[in-house]
């Protein structure tokens, strides 16, 4: 489902509040979860923002994420849950961050990637050049050997 704009959410809430059908029907018609629609209506009535700001979820810097992963590394599942509630995080975020730190590569920089690609192209062209020169050297060597064998069989050819 795509994200709805603030005005679209308000229009749906106003439809619910003006009794244009039950909340289940409105939620189904707009492909919204019933609990989500209930939350929107509750927030609207309380004067809160309809759009949920996940606060710390997307705003964590790399160092903050690393601190959270380090802090929860030695905790059991129950303590991790308590820590996540206190910090406004989710356990799956900690797991994902840990996996990201474990698999992160140091050469993700664009300039490094382009430099590696340029070196690979240069390496390929140099290998092709070496192969071409090896073939030419093998051909010259075989011609020299044939010339020596021919001179042994028929003798030296003298130019007149």
The pLDDT tens digits for 15-49 are 888 877 788 888 888 888 888 888 888 888 777 66
Q: Is residue 76 part of a domain?
A: yes
Residue 155 structural domain = 107-160
Backbone angles phi and psi of 75, in degrees to 5? -90, 150
Q: In terms of C-beta density within 10 A (0-12 exposed, 13-18 middle, 19 or more buried), how is residue 74 classed?
A: exposed
Q: Is residue 141 part of a domain?
A: yes
SS3 content of the chain, % helix, strand, coil (to 5): 70, 0, 30
Mean pLDDT of 128-141: 97
Q: Which residue has the tokens 């382009």?
A: 114
Chain-wide mean pLDDT for the chain? 82
Say whether both 25 and 65 belong to one domain.
no
Q: Which residue has the tokens 């690979």?
A: 120
Say whether both 14 and 36 belong to one domain.
yes
pLDDT of residue 63: 84
Residue 143 has pLDDT above 90, yes or no: yes
Tell me: the pLDDT tens digits for 60-82?
A: 788 888 899 899 989 898 998 88
């Amino acid at each position: 489902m795509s994200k709805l704009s603030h005005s679209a959410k308000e229009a749906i809430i106003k439809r619910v509040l003006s009794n244009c059908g039950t909340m289940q029907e409105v939620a189904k018609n707009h492909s919204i979860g019933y609990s989500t629609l209930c939350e929107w209506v509750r927030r609207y009535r309380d004067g809160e923002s309809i759009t949920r700001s996940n606060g710390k979820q997307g705003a964590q810097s790399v160092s903050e994420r690393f601190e959270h992963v380090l802090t929860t590394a030695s905790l059991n599942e129950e303590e991790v849950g308590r820590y996540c509630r206190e910090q406004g995080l989710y356990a799956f975020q900690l797991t994902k961050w840990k996996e990201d730190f474990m698999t992160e590569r140091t050469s993700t920089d664009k300039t490094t990637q382009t430099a590696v690609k340029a070196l690979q192209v240069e390496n390929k062209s140099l290998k092709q050049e070496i192969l071409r020169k090896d073939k030419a050297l093998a051909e010259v060597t075989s011609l020299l050997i044939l010339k020596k064998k021919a001179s042994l069989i028929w003798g030296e050819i003298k130019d007149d």
